[in-house]
Structure formats: structure tokens, C-alpha cells
Amino acid sequence: MLMSKSCSEFSELLAEKISMPGGGSAASLTGSLGAALCSMAANFTIGKKNYEDVQDDVKSILEKSERIRKRFLELADEDAKAFPELSAAYKIPKDNPDRDKIYERAALNACKAPVEMIECCAEAIDLLNEIMQKGNKMLISDAGCGALLCKAAMESAAMNVVINTSSLKNCDEARKIESKVDDILEKYSPTASIIAEEVNLYLRK
């Protein structure tokens, strides 16, 4: 399990001349860090007298951000597990009549984890936006950092989707996946940037 390794071990493994882990697992780990910062901001708000009126909201944020953080870690491993099937399919001789069908199945399967990463990033960005507004202002910079980490994770995961879908030229399912990813990025990449901008404005006022 990749996510049971230390940060140092994972970084070293990522740097080696091996195919997995790769960008997908790195993206998911990055997303988990963004969600973790949301949880931290929530934890530092719960029980604070100055934030009594938002306690229920913040507890809900914490519950959701922790679910997402843990799911990101699972997705890092799921992404790595999908690669051997894709690699094996790629090596099938092109004159094999079953190659295209096997490769398409493997490529679409390899999209599942990064697509869910993107969805998790979108959820986390919404939560970070909420904790930025309602949470302990001593932690507002952490909310901004979390938003930028989730943005990076989301855009990185999208690349890991498109590298697979772009190889499937005549596949309706691949086009649907691309459209879904594009829609999420179009909404949430700017949202994450706006969160960071608002945090910077607050810190510099």
C-alpha cells in the first residue's frame, strides 16, 4: 500500500525509474493534504467561544473533510493498481483482433480513480470556501493553502484522465468523461483561485 509508506519513502519511490507510483498517486496525496488543512481549520474552530454560532456547520465540515481526506489516500492506491492492466493492454500486438477492446477497457478503468479524485477536489474546495468564511481566522491561511493544493491536485488528476481518454479516438464514453472533467475544472479551478485571493486580501488588509 503506497499510502502506508512514510513521506520520505513515497518521495523516493516516486523519483525512481518505475511507472508506479506516478502523477495520479501524487495528485491524490496532494488532495489529501488540502482536505487535511480544511480539517485542521475546523478542529481549531470547534469549541471556540467566538464561533459558537457556527459550531454545527463546522462539525459538519470536519466530518466531510475527513471522509474526503481518507478517500484521497485510498484513491492513490487504486490509481496505482489500475496501471498494470493498462500497461499489459498496451503491449498486446496491434494485429490482435481483441487488442482495441481490451485496451479501451483498461484505459477507461484507469480513468476511474483520477475522475473521482477530481470530484473529491471539488467537494474539498467547497468545504475550504466554507471554512474560510466561518472558521477560526487564525487558520485562514491554511484554508487558502488547502484550496491551492486541491486546485493543483484537481488539474493534475485531469491530466491523468486525458492521457488515457485521448488515446481512445472513437469512444463515446471517453468523450463523456472528458466533458465531465472539463465542467468540474471550469467551475472549481477559478473557485480555488478566488479563495486564495480572498485569503491574501484578508491577510494584507
Q: Compute, in degrees rounded to 10, the torsion defined by CA atoms 112, 118, 124, 130.
A: -140
80-123 pLDDT tens trace: 999 899 999 889 998 999 998 999 999 999 999 999 999 999 99
12-49 pLDDT tens trace: 988 998 888 889 999 999 999 999 999 999 999 999 99
Closest C-alpha among 182, 184, 188, 70 to residue 129:
188
Look up cell 495528485; give the residue: 27
CA distances from 191 to 114, 117, 170, 188 (A): 20, 17, 33, 5
157-190 pLDDT tens trace: 999 999 999 989 889 999 999 999 999 999 999 9
Q: Which CATH architecture has domain 21-204?
A: Up-down Bundle (1.20)
Look up cell 498496451; give the residue: 90
The answer to whether the beta carbons of residues 131 and 38 sit under 8 Å apart is yes
Query: What's the whole-number mean pLDDT along residues 190-203?
Result: 97
Domain boundaries, the chain: 21-204
The answer to whether the beta carbons of residues 31 and 146 sit under 8 Å apart is no
pLDDT at 25: 93
Distance between CA atoms of 3 and 1, rounded to whole angstroms?
6
pLDDT at 128: 98
The answer to whether the beta carbons of residues 155 and 135 sit under 8 Å apart is no
pTM: 0.94
Continuous segment of H or E residues that includes residue 7: helix 7-15
Task: Say how many C-beta atoms besides its own lie within 10 A of residue 43's C-beta.
Answer: 16
